[in-house]
A and B are shown apart, each in its own frame.
Chain A
């Protein structure tokens, strides 16, 4: 070896052809679910009207104040108008929501056309504490179902429109108001199973077949 010998340029400054790190663990399907939407329950309280909320807010150790009662009552009323389901007739509406639970759609009377002008009545509101999720107090309007009450998205139903409980956060997911909902928002699925028939393959039988190449 002479003093002039030096490592080849590539060894001095290797042009590395491989990753510095990779993801090694295959955790299975469970890891790829959205943790935030599973078994994530929050404190919630339902009131048939603003007055009962204000009365309850005088107590201590609650997640809401009188101000929350007022703001959320107004928000729930507005949300009810925007997201409550609409029906072409009072009969259809009552089939879904029970006798005496439906009324005229005030929005339909202002606009022209559109045959869907009956909607379930506003039956109070449910407030939830999202403090553990970095949020404040949220609310959803309540409407009747044949056997009880629900929020307009219909994710959960409740026996009563008053009282407190721990409920899934999905209860507070806003129901759709227009077509084209945001990704990850809750929706109403009308059909399933429309993918996966593997029409180009004639293979039959139950064994799982890789589609990969």
Chain B
């Protein structure tokens, strides 16, 4: 894994604008940044990212199977009790997942470490699946990249195949997101194009325009019944909204399915560590409350594991609220001293999880996080984000990557 300076494609900003990629710059800073790119070997991609991410997803599925039948874990994961059955039924019925993104710490050596799983509402899909692909094809055609290069990016094709697997031909899918957020909308649109390619109907409705019919079904902004709803909106919020009580009776099919509420939750990290202790791709993680209890001398199910992880935790750990997006509420502590704190604390009132620190590598003053995309059950591609800060957030730059060697 190296960071290589590469020539930018002449006129790429105009091309981006022409394609509708309107947020290539955000907040006066570049968001898409092709002044350099990350280079991986094929072995690094396949052995260190692709296969481990596929395995992590399978482990997450096992964790869901455990959590949905455990009152203790449903409570710990802050899933509102009235909806436990709704979540559990969706798992028991085998409702299929569409996509997700693991955030991994990796520097080219040793196992990649799971920071968190964006299993419910991952964004940056268009950048990963499409614009990054275009960068690769054009840079290779221009000779900027050598002839024996490749990119780990089957995301679009994998999405089209997955849609065809999980929905019958001709089915109409509604896509709901915040209309005013171009980043979110681009992700939804990337998914919708893949759905259309799979022979499905794709219709957008703004999330806030969804209505409830007199029959208790959900309807779009044109009063049409919603049969299948893809929502780029977190389950933890769905389950707390005014319409929450209508979710299950509506008989709507949701994508991602309700059981993703278990995964899109930092509380999954302690569960994974409990079920798969010392797994090479996992970091020790516990609920802050359990660590505090252990320090008070109280015994619980986690006491021994906490004691074993204590030296690693005191070298460095990261505290994050069970619910949060885009790095909000994350605090990094090293050797007892707070070294970095996300400015956004809008989720900090939730219970916290404490995870051992896997320091992000430093490439020219930037810290990359690898986004390993899961489509269906398999890892299908890679997107890299980097930032000067050690907590990646929504304005962190998207960096293209390629495979060589």
A residues lining the B interface (CB < 8 Å): 10-11, 14, 16-29, 31-34, 37, 176, 179-203, 208-213
B208 A17 Cβ-Cβ under 8 A: no
A212 B156 Cβ-Cβ under 8 A: no
Q: Which residue of B lies closest to A191 (CB)?
A: B212
A190 B122 Cβ-Cβ under 8 A: no
A14 B189 Cβ-Cβ under 8 A: no
Most chain B beta-carbon contacts within 10 A, residue among A34, A187, A192, A212: A212
Contacts of A33 in B (CB 8 A): 203-204
A197 B130 Cβ-Cβ under 8 A: no
Q: How far is the CB of B83 from chain A (nearest CB, A)?
A: 13
Which A-B residue pairs are the 4 nearest by beta carbons? A183-B227, A212-B123, A194-B243, A26-B20
A37 B20 Cβ-Cβ under 8 A: no
Identify B237's interface contact among A21, A184, A198, CB under 8 A: A198
A-B contact pairs, 29 of them (CB 8 A): A17-B151, A17-B403, A18-B381, A21-B157, A22-B129, A22-B134, A22-B157, A24-B19, A27-B189, A29-B204, A32-B204, A33-B203, A33-B204, A181-B213, A181-B215, A181-B225, A184-B224, A186-B223, A187-B225, A189-B213, A191-B212, A195-B210, A199-B240, A201-B328, A210-B184, A211-B123, A213-B103, A213-B118, A213-B120
Q: How far is the CB of A76 from chain B (nearest CB, A)?
A: 22
Contacts of B131 in A (CB 8 A): 24
**B207 at interface, CB cutoff 8 A:** yes
**B67 at interface, CB cutoff 8 A:** no
A29 B185 Cβ-Cβ under 8 A: yes
Please report the C-alpha to C-alpha distance between residue A59 and residue B217 in the assembled complex, in whole angstroms: 44
Contacts of A34 in B (CB 8 A): 201, 203, 222, 224
Identify A24's interface contact among B134, B231, B241, B350, CB under 8 A: B134
**B5 at interface, CB cutoff 8 A:** no
Contacts of A186 in B (CB 8 A): 223-225
A192 B209 Cβ-Cβ under 8 A: yes
Contacts of B251 in A (CB 8 A): 180
Contacts of A11 in B (CB 8 A): 148
B172 A183 Cβ-Cβ under 8 A: yes
**B152 at interface, CB cutoff 8 A:** yes
**B178 at interface, CB cutoff 8 A:** yes
B323 A213 Cβ-Cβ under 8 A: no
Known: A212-B184, A213-B122. A22 touches B130 (CB 8 A): yes
B202 A196 Cβ-Cβ under 8 A: no
| Contacting residues of chain B (184-228) with chain A, CB-CB under 8 angstroms | 184-190, 192-194, 197, 201-204, 206-217, 219, 222-228
B192 A194 Cβ-Cβ under 8 A: no
Contacts of B325 in A (CB 8 A): 201, 210-213
| Contacting residues of chain B (54-86) with chain A, CB-CB under 8 angstroms | none
A211 B232 Cβ-Cβ under 8 A: yes
Identify B212's interface contact among A25, A190, A210, CB under 8 A: A190
Known: A196-B233, A212-B121. A203 touches B344 (CB 8 A): yes
Q: Which residue of B lies closest to A197 (CB)?
A: B241
Q: How far is the CB of B211 from chain A (nearest CB, A)?
A: 3
Cβ contacts B87-120/A at 8 Å (1 or 0 each): 0000000000000010100000000000010101
Give the total number of A-B pairs whose CB atoms are below 8 A apart: 241
A184 B189 Cβ-Cβ under 8 A: no
Please report the C-alpha to C-alpha distance between residue A1 and residue B246 in the assembled complex, in whole angstroms: 72
Contacts of A16 in B (CB 8 A): 150
Please report the C-alpha to C-alpha distance between residue A100 and residue B214 in the assembled complex, in whole angstroms: 27
Known: A20-B157, A192-B211. A202 touches B197 (CB 8 A): no
Contacts of A37 in B (CB 8 A): 222, 224
B217 A187 Cβ-Cβ under 8 A: yes
A188 B193 Cβ-Cβ under 8 A: no
Contacts of A201 in B (CB 8 A): 237, 323, 325, 328, 346-347
| Contacting residues of chain B (146-185) with chain A, CB-CB under 8 angstroms | 148, 150-157, 171-172, 175-176, 178-181, 183-185
Contacts of B118 in A (CB 8 A): 212-213
Contacts of B101 in A (CB 8 A): 213
**B35 at interface, CB cutoff 8 A:** no
Please report the C-alpha to C-alpha distance between residue A26 and residue B16 in the assembled complex, in whole angstroms: 10
B20 A28 Cβ-Cβ under 8 A: yes
Contacts of B231 in A (CB 8 A): 195
Q: How far is the CB of B123 from chain A (nearest CB, A)?
A: 3
Known: A187-B219, A189-B212. A26 touches B157 (CB 8 A): no
Contacts of B121 in A (CB 8 A): 211-213
A23 B185 Cβ-Cβ under 8 A: no
Q: Which residue of B lies closest to A192 (CB)?
A: B211
Identify B346's interface contact among A20, A188, A190, A202, CB under 8 A: A202
Contacts of A20 in B (CB 8 A): 157
**B136 at interface, CB cutoff 8 A:** yes
Q: Which residue of A lies closest to B211 (CB)?
A: A189
Please report the C-alpha to C-alpha distance between residue A192 and residue B226 in the assembled complex, in whole angstroms: 14
Q: How far is the CB of B364 from chain A (nearest CB, A)?
A: 25
Cβ contacts B243-285/A at 8 Å (1 or 0 each): 1001000010000000000001000000000000000000000
Please report the C-alpha to C-alpha distance between residue A193 and residue B347 in the assembled complex, in whole angstroms: 23
